[in-house]
């Protein structure tokens, strides 16, 4: 790792989908131990950016690197990813889903179990690890996905709308876990369109609007820069331009989803997922 403590670097990134420019000239750095929020409306480019940061997409221009300037797609084992769609195998238990994912990264079951149990206690999931995920609520599926992302000991945790659709209690539990990881020196990228969440859990907020970075700073810095009285007012002041339509809602959605789900499929044919259905 570099002396500047920079862990992940996005440098002048552009991403095109045919004639659509999803991201344009995006540049920022994330340092070890930070919790950084990606804030923006639907269609702003947050999910596309997370897919670039996770190595699922390659930039049309620019670079996304991890550690000492290594392309991020070559270091996927250093990443823990929780996408909007959890992609759990419904005929496996929570622990079997987690164990399978950890084995893909070469992590021994004993180590994966120890890490899983630690965070399962924080998420109140200990008694549910042996249950099949088919009957899980959305909150329980999201908690399982979090445990799966953490079990191999990633350097960076990437969260895409981690509390979307969750009840109040489950959402608070997820935010508490992020704060726990933060206190333990972990690095988290937290994508959300909920400003109050970003203000609660993030050290720094990057506002993305229509594919470009509009602001990058702590909540108090963003408020002071715009002369606002709240983060919501600051956000509105920085995103005056009309938000574009979310292009993922069109015919490309199924293709994009397939790319995203590649993170959770084995690189070579195996026996564990043969005949096993995903619940997403």
pLDDT tens track for 128-147: 999 999 989 999 999 999 99
pLDDT at position 194 is 87
Q: Tell me the pLDDT tens digit for each residue of 181-217.
A: 999 999 999 999 889 899 999 999 999 999 999 999 9
The answer to whether position 71 is within a domain reads yes
CB atoms within 10 A of CB 64: 21
Tell me the two tokens of residue 154: 């990633």
Dist CA 248 CA 128 (whole Å): 34
The answer to whether position 270 is within a domain reads no
Dist CA 17 CA 40 (whole Å): 19
In three-state secondary structure terms, 97 is: helix
The answer to whether position 278 is within a domain reads no
What pTM does this model have? Answer: 0.84
- Rounded to whole angstroms, what are the CA distances from 38 to 54, 95, 120, 162? 14, 30, 26, 12
Torsion of CA 132, 135, 140, 144, to 10 degrees: 30
Q: Domain containing 204 — which CATH number?
A: 3.40.50.300
The answer to whether position 273 is within a domain reads no
Mean pLDDT of 10-34: 94
Task: Indicate the pLDDT class of residue 164, thresholds 50, 70 and 90.
Answer: confident
Task: Indicate the pLDDT class of residue 18, thresholds 50, 70 and 90.
Answer: confident
The answer to whether position 62 is within a domain reads yes
pLDDT at position 249 is 41
The answer to whether position 276 is within a domain reads no
List the domain range (segments joined by +) for residue 26. 6-263
The answer to whether position 271 is within a domain reads no
Task: Indicate the helix (H) or strand (E) that contains 180.
Answer: helix 168-183
Number of domains in the chain: 1
The answer to whether position 108 is within a domain reads yes
Residues 219, 225, 231, 235: is their CA dihedral positive or negative?
negative
Q: What is the largest CA-CA distance in the chain?
A: 59
For residue 273, pLDDT over 90 is answered with: no
Task: Indicate the pLDDT class of residue 256, thresholds 50, 70 and 90.
Answer: low
pLDDT at position 101 is 93
Task: Indicate the pLDDT class of residue 265, thresholds 50, 70 and 90.
Answer: low
Mean pLDDT of 1-14: 80
């Amino acid at each position: 790792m570099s002396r500047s403590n920079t862990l992940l670097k996005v440098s002048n990134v552009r991403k095109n989908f045919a004639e659509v420019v999803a991201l344009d000239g995006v540049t920022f750095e994330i340092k070890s131990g930070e919790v950084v929020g990606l804030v923006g409306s639907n269609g702003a480019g947050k999910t596309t950016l997370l897919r670039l940061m996770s190595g699922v997409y390659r930039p049309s221009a620019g670079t996304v690197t991890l550690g000492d300037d290594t392309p991020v797609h070559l270091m996927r084992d250093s990443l823990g990813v929780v996408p909007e769609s959890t992609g759990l195998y419904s005929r496996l238990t929570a622990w079997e889903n987690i164990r399978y994912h950890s084995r893909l990264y070469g992590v021994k079951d004993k180590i994966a179990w120890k890490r899983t149990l630690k965070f399962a206690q924080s998420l109140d999931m200990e008694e549910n690890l042996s249950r099949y995920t088919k009957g899980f609520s959305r909150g329980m599926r999201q908690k399982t996905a979090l445990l799966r992302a953490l079990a191999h000991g990633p350097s960076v945790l990437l969260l895409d709308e981690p509390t979307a659709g969750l009840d109040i209690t489950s959402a608070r539990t997820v935010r508490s876990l992020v704060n726990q990881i933060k206190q333990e020196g972990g690095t988290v990228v937290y994508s959300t369109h909920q400003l109050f969440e970003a203000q609660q859990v993030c050290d720094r907020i990057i506002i993305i609007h229509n594919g470009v970075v509009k602001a990058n700073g702590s909540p108090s810095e963003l408020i002071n820069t715009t002369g606002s009285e709240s983060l919501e007012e600051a956000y509105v002041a920085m995103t005056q331009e009309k938000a574009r339509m979310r292009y993922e809602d069109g015919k490309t959605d199924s293709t994009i989803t397939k790319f995203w789900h590649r993170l959770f499929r084995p690189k070579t044919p195996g026996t564990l997922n043969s005949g096993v259905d995903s619940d997403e």
